[in-house]
Each structure stands twice: as C-alpha cells, then as structure tokens.
A and B are shown apart, each in its own frame.
Chain A
C-alpha cells in the first residue's frame, strides 16, 4: 500500500512538472490548432462533395479516407509526444543529480520508474483520446460520417503510444537525453521503413522484402499497431481494394497485438532493472 502511495506521489509530481513547465499547455494548444485546420479542411471537402453530387459509396470512401488522414496525423503527433514527453524525465534527473534526494528516500526504484511511466502514459493517452476523439467528432458533426471500428482502432493506437512511452522511459534509465531521443525515433523510423518495405514487397510478390518488414515489426512493433488500427477503421471494401494509402496491402497478424503488449512489459521491466542497477 505504501508502495502504491509513493508511486502515485511520483506520478503526481511528474504531472505537476508537465503542467508547471507548460508542456501540457503547449501540447494542447498545438493539438487545438491541428483540429481547427482539420475541421476547416473537412468543411470545404464536404461542401465540394455536396456540389459534385457523387454516389453515396464514393462520398463515404472520401470521408473515411480524410478521417483516416486526420487520424494518421494524430498518430504521428501522438508518437512524437510519446517519445518526447518522457525523454528526459529520468536521464535529466540523473544527469542533474535531482534524483539523488528522491532515490535516497524510502521508495523502491521500481516506484520511481512506474510512477513516471504512469504519468506520461496518462498524458499520452489523454492526448490521443482528445485528438482522435476530436477528429472523429468533427467527421461526424461536419460530414455526418461515423468512422467504423473506432473501438478497436483507438486501443491499437493507444498500444502503439504505450510501446513508445515505455521505450522512452526505459532508454532514460540507460542513455543520455539526446541518445535516448535518437534511439526512440530511430526505432520508430526503423519500424516505419520496415513496414513500407513489407507493403512494397507484398505488391511486388517479393517474399524477402516481406520478411524484412516482419522482422522489423518484431524489433519495433509500433507501426504494426497503426497498420492494424487503420485497417480496422475502414469498411471491408476499402480494405480489400486497397483504395487509399491507409489501406495496407499486408495487414499485420493479430498476434502482433500480443507481441506489442509483451514488448511493452519487457520495456517496463528493463526500465526498472536499468534504474535499479544504476549507480546514482
């Protein structure tokens, strides 16, 4: 019980830091700006669609594509936030020596790691829900369009963000802030390009390229979660015809979800071990 109370003290402090340093404010203002641009763009697209008087199916595909484009941008912003927000929370405290007075208190190192992890997971989850919720709500209000598969898609996007928050926290126990950023974005980039190679390999019927994509997804399962999420948030016809850039030719296996969850757990354990073994 004492452990939980102290863990929550660290969470509270970390959230307080994010607010005091205006990190949350900056994130929310930029997010609001994004939603405004998305809403204005959607408004003009819907107006144009009404004027062209196309078929209902084409209108739905266009709205679905534009909403997925919005969610793709949200996914990218969430990935950035998931890596950047916690990037120096441990490495910065270790480098400055601030952590010494905290770690010498009667709190286990695991409490420090989990407290910070929980704080940044909450911030990232709220950001994702606000931004993705905003995009979905605007699509409904302006375009009268209801995105399918939201209740499967959003948890998958959240799982991707969770993997990256955990990666950033785990890196902070071993690397300096800059190195941690390079590793975080480097692995995300690796997964992104790996997935691209896999898609091209699928179209070209090149098994070696597909294999490269699968291996990179195992090394970093973040982009697979977006591929799975986007495939869930479109009707079967769009998915099968691969009409848009958001309809993957090769959809990752659902087993990747279990892999991403196990991967997250492994990162959190590595983070706890990293800080526990580290001399402060």
Chain B
C-alpha cells in the first residue's frame, strides 16, 4: 500500500553562494491532490521544485518523493515534469520528441507508440506530429511538453508555470488535463503565480516567500467568510457597536463599513436592522475573499509593484 503522502520535505534549504534561494521548506503533498505552490517571483518556487525532481541538490534538509529520497532514480520513473519556458529538442519532430522521452522512461515498442498516439490526440497535435518542434507556436510547444510529462502514467506531475504567456485555449487545456489527472488519482504539483488558474484547479495551496511556507489553505472547502461592504450615511456609536453582532469589523471609514460575516444568511437581517436604525443605506455588497486578496494579505503589501 502506498503511503498517503507522495511528497514530504523537512527544512529543505538551498543556498547559491551568498544568496539563500530556499530557506526552510517543509511541506507535504497527498496522493491524488492538486497542490498549488504559490509565491511571488524570486520566492524560491522553481528552486524548490528542482530539488524535488533531483535537478538541484539541497544544501540542507531532507525530503522524500514517493517514499524515496530526493533524486532517487527509480522514483523518477513515476514522475512527470513540464519545465518553465518549455525548451525541448527543437530539431526533433513532435512524435520523435515523445519517442525519445518515452525511451528515457524505459518504454519501447508498441506500448510506447500507442501511448504517443494517445497523447498526441489528447493535446490535439496529431496533425502537427510530423513537424519539427522548432516550427511550433508557444502553445503547441507547451502541449507537446505536457504530453512528454504524461508518457509514463506518472504518479506525480510537476508543472512549473505551465500557463504563463499562453492564450486562453492553452490555459483551458492545462486546466482540463489537471482535472483528468486528479480523477485518475495522480498528484499534481502546480508551481504558479497565476492565481486565477490555481483557484480553478487546486485542492490545496501553500504560499511561499523566500523558500518558507507562510500560509496553507484548502480551496473548495467551506469558505472562510464573506466580506460585506456597506455604504451608508453617518452611523452613531450605538449602531456601530450593534453591527459587530453580525460579524468582525474590517474597516470603519466615513461612509464605508467593511465586515467579515460567516455566511450570507444574515444579509437580509443586516439590511433591515440598519434601515430600522434610521441609517441611510446607499449600497451593500458581499463577496468571498479572492485568492488574490489572500495572497496579498499573506505576502504583505510590499508585493505590490511601485
């Protein structure tokens, strides 16, 4: 029986000379989960991912992938990897590229050829399979890269910024493939800073900064509350205090009150109560906090440019 966690790391650290790229990475990824690894540029995301794949040796710390130490050859046979920038042997045709990578996975003969055709169909490249990868558009290169990452029916697929710079169709394809992988019980380690994509695909995310996990949250679970914004006329002190029974106060500026409420069930009651207090209510809106808002809250406002 396979262990529940497919990736475990404890205090992974990577230093390049004077620069500390990853300070102290401890995380766990469960079998079959789509795991989002979020952080701003320079947060050590790609370095962390490369350590998990055995491309970079950690300076300190330990970790396992599929129960084996990082970089173990046998466990790599069950990993798929789509690197950032999608750089491949551009003098091979799409089909030759998949054949070469399939052989590196130890596949050969008819099973490999069948798998190649199956994947070429899945990423919609059958018509272009005879063309050199060097003639592909960025989207096509990304699709053939995705296919090479899936040749071996992997137990974990590592995707490093898989949709950056792609058009909506390319993004949709990646999203669909991730959903299919989840259904097949394949874990996906998604390294991205495109929060919309992450929100649409991940089960759980961690926020990293300077190679440290700052925050972890599960997406798709009960929401962590609604953010309600009230635009009103002047509010007296008693009404202001009374508002707190509906939720936690986030902001109380002139004419604008922001509250965090547990659910939307109390929204009609809140509106009635304010009006009954003789306060002019100009607008009331309620929204769940976006991943982007959480990201900024966790990372701090210093992540904003300018």
Using a CB–CB cutoff of 8 Å, the interface residues on chain A facing chain B are 2, 5-6, 9, 13, 16-17, 20-21, 96-98, 100-108, 277, 279-280
A108 to B76, CA, bound (A): 11
Interface band, chain B: 20 to 34
* Residues in B whose Cβ lies below 8 Å from that of A9: 100, 103-104
Do B89 and A13 touch across chains, with their CB atoms under 8 A apart?
A: yes
The closest CB in chain A to the CB of B100 belongs to A13
Q: Is the interface of A mostly helix, strand, loop or mixed?
A: helix
Which residues, 93 to 126 on B, are CB-close (under 8 Å) to A? 96, 100-101, 103-106
Known: A100-B83, A106-B73. A17 touches B91 (CB 8 A): yes
Please choose the segment from B51-59, B180-188, B210-218, B237-245 that sits at the chain A interface, where 4 or more of its residues have CB less than 8 A away: B51-59
Do B104 and A280 touch across chains, with their CB atoms under 8 A apart?
A: no
* Residues in B whose Cβ lies below 8 Å from that of A13: 89, 100
The closest CB in chain A to the CB of B160 belongs to A100
Which residues, 55 to 94 on B, are CB-close (under 8 Å) to A? 55-57, 73-74, 76-77, 79, 81, 83-85, 87-89, 91-92
A275 to B81, CA, bound (A): 20
* Residues in A whose Cβ lies below 8 Å from that of B31: none
Known: A17-B89, A101-B148. A106 touches B103 (CB 8 A): no
User: B50 on the interface (CB 8 Å rule)?
Assistant: yes
A98 to B96, CA, bound (A): 15
Q: B133: shortest Cβ distance to chain A, in Å? A: 11
Which single member of B56, B74, B88 contacts A280 (CB below 8 Å)?
B56
* Residues in A whose Cβ lies below 8 Å from that of B88: 98, 101
Q: A272: shortest Cβ distance to chain B, in Å? A: 15
* Residues in B whose Cβ lies below 8 Å from that of A6: 103-104, 106
Known: A97-B85, A101-B81, A106-B76. A279 touches B56 (CB 8 A): yes
The closest CB in chain B to the CB of A276 belongs to B57
* Residues in B whose Cβ lies below 8 Å from that of A103: 54-55
Q: A26: shortest Cβ distance to chain B, in Å? A: 15
* Residues in B whose Cβ lies below 8 Å from that of A97: 83-85, 87
The closest CB in chain B to the CB of A102 belongs to B104
Known: A97-B85, A280-B56. A106 touches B91 (CB 8 A): no
A252 to B79, CA, bound (A): 53
A105 to B83, CA, bound (A): 13
What number of A-B contacts does a CB cutoff of 8 Å give? 71
A9 to B103, CA, bound (A): 7
Q: A156: shortest Cβ distance to chain B, in Å? A: 35
Known: A2-B106, A13-B100. A104 touches B53 (CB 8 A): yes
A279 to B106, CA, bound (A): 24
* Residues in B whose Cβ lies below 8 Å from that of A5: 103, 106
| Mask: chain B, 127-163; 1 = CB below 8 Å from A; 0 = not | 0000000000000000001001000000000000000
Offer 7 A-B interface pairs, CB within 8 angstroms, sorted by A.
A6-B104, A9-B104, A13-B100, A16-B92, A101-B145, A104-B76, A280-B50
A271 to B91, CA, bound (A): 25
Do A104 and B81 touch across chains, with their CB atoms under 8 A apart?
A: yes
A257 to B282, CA, bound (A): 94
* Residues in A whose Cβ lies below 8 Å from that of B84: 97
A153 to B16, CA, bound (A): 48
Q: B301: shortest Cβ distance to chain A, in Å? A: 33
Which single member of A17, A98, A107 contacts B104 (CB below 8 Å)?
A107
Do A98 and B55 touch across chains, with their CB atoms under 8 A apart?
A: no
A280 to B47, CA, bound (A): 10
A279 to B59, CA, bound (A): 11
Do B106 and A106 touch across chains, with their CB atoms under 8 A apart?
A: yes
* Residues in A whose Cβ lies below 8 Å from that of B100: 9, 13
Q: A278: shortest Cβ distance to chain B, in Å? A: 9
A9 to B106, CA, bound (A): 10
Known: A9-B103, A20-B91, A98-B87. A106 touches B81 (CB 8 A): no
Give the interface centre of A97, A100, A105 by most chain B CB atoms within 10 Å.
A105
Do A21 and B91 touch across chains, with their CB atoms under 8 A apart?
A: yes
A2 to B100, CA, bound (A): 15
* Residues in B whose Cβ lies below 8 Å from that of A2: 106
The closest CB in chain B to the CB of A8 belongs to B103
Q: B170: shortest Cβ distance to chain A, in Å? A: 18
Do B87 and A279 touch across chains, with their CB atoms under 8 A apart?
A: no
* Residues in A whose Cβ lies below 8 Å from that of B57: 277, 279
